[in-house]
Structure 1
């Protein structure tokens, strides 16, 4: 068995197991505090943004109580507003007067963590939390990370993405509500979005799922035409439909017409 340099850790945070796998050849005395700081950051995010925690800043905001001047809170709410406009309201962090940035916050937190790891010298890493994955650098010298994209309903591998620097988000593990009707969207199996910013892939995957299959296909085509974000949609009957850039990275068979 080949042993790679680096270190890995899994902790339960943000309501799920989160794994940080560092492959950069750093001494243990440097990696241990890096991993300590990584999970301290994630716990801070959970404490600040969890709407179900009555002492979080989001819960205090929703109940009209005084909140602290937290720059990250302003940043997240501003970005959520931008994404809402970009998706014509299909991603919405404010519904009926209640603020809940859950569709963005996990991806945002992991993206910030990934940048922090790079700044600490741990440039080769993979972070996994539920349907969000952030890879940077190499899994081993000269080799990209190989990441399986699984159907959240069945666990079947639908694609394998090869990348040195990519965010990958899959929506469909939990119910997604149509923000326009308040009803759970049930016509889509899952949506996976890949791109350079995990916060945006997370939010786009949520929005596309909420749209339903027909509208999601059109939006995915436009999204790919405008920039670096590519999509794979799995319909309720199991059909895989991908934008060309996603198919090139993973070998997915069916492509959306452009």
Structure 2
């Protein structure tokens, strides 16, 4: 997946949590082997070249492609699993893989789980009594500063994902043109129960631009967002304020 993943796990029976953590890490490495677009021998690369069918790949490949198709449908094509005419579901793989790893840890009996994959976070439970998970949202226009702090108080599961140009430059593609998305935005942060969708929606909304992106995000259930424009204007969905603190 080309990123660093960190784990914060609280509570639970130590042996069960340790075993689940080992499984989660192994699962992430396996995801990288299967879905890498840089490895010629990965299942995804072979599928893209027509050397394998989806049925001949691991079941996770069909699962991810189905999720990608759903994301494309719900975003009216602003999210895509293709790049330059080639199959490339990397825009959904990271969020899906991190969410799956966090869910595995939560199922082990841990009282609180937070898994951070390159700045995108999936949380379950809480780190302690009356202590919710809190996630700082980096300010793309002020290095080292925070644009907001999201709190998971009262939420059994919550995810935070950001797409933008601050860390990786103009890497988000406009599916209509196949070129870098040209918008008035520098960052979109989406808060939703599942990281799979939060990550997809942040990417799609960034490609749309602030006006269309904000209106679309407002229409999605259980989804809140913060959008920052190149002109340092902050726009938020109506329910975001309740998640800040």
TM-score (norm 1): 0.85
Of residues 142, 146, 150 in structure 2, which corresponds to 1:157?
A: 146
Cα RMSD, aligned residues only: 1.7
Task: Map residues 40-189 of structure 1 onto 2, 5 A cutoff.
Answer: 40-66=26-52, 68-152=56-140, 154-163=143-152, 164=155, 165-172=157-164, 173-174=167-168, 175-186=171-182, 187-189=184-186
Residues 179 and 161 of structure 1: is their aligned pair in 2 closer, same or farther, counting only changes over 3 Å? same
Please list every run of 5 or more consecutive structure 2 residues that lacks an aligned counterpart in the other structure.
Answer: none
Shift of residue 66, structure 1, vs aligned partner: 2.3
- How many residues align? The count is 234
Query: Aligned partners of 1:140 and 1:215: how far apart in 2?
Result: 39
What secondary structure is seen at the aligned counterpart in 1 of 2:216? Answer: helix
Is residue 2:10 matched to residue 1:16? no
Query: Aligned partners of 2:110 and 2:140: how far apart in 1?
Result: 30
> What are the superposed Cα offsets for residues 88-147 of structure 1, whole Å, 9 maximum, x if unpaired?
100010244311111111111111112111221124111111131011111222211111
Given that 2:16 and 2:109 are in contact with CA atoms closer than 8 Å, whether structure 1 keeps it comes out as no
Shift of residue 69, structure 1, vs aligned partner: 3.2
Q: Which runs of 4+ in 1 moved over 6 A?
A: none
Residues 190 and 155 of structure 1: is their aligned pair in 2 closer, same or farther, counting only changes over 3 Å? farther
Structure of higher RCO (CA pairs closer than 8 Å, 6+ residues apart): 2
Please list every run of 5 or more consecutive structure 1 residues that lacks an aligned counterpart in the other structure.
Answer: 1-13, 252-258
Of residues 196, 202, 226 in structure 1, which corresponds to 2:193?
A: 196
Query: Aligned partners of 1:177 and 1:52: how far apart in 2?
Result: 18
Query: Aligned partners of 1:84 and 1:155: how far apart in 2?
Result: 34
Given that 2:12 and 2:108 are in contact with CA atoms closer than 8 Å, whether structure 1 keeps it comes out as no
Query: Aligned partners of 2:58 and 2:200: how far apart in 1?
Result: 22
Task: Map residues 239-250 of structure 1 onto 2, 5 A cutoff.
Answer: 239-250=233-244
> What are the superposed Cα offsets for residues 42-71 of structure 1, whole Å, 9 maximum, x if unpaired?
001111111111111111111111253311
What secondary structure is seen at the aligned counterpart in 2 of 1:244? Answer: coil
> What are the superposed Cα offsets for residues 4-43 of structure 1, whole Å, 9 maximum, x if unpaired?
xxxxxxxxxx32221011011433x443332221110100
Query: Aligned partners of 1:140 and 1:237: how far apart in 2?
Result: 39
Tell me which residue corresponds to 1:209.
206
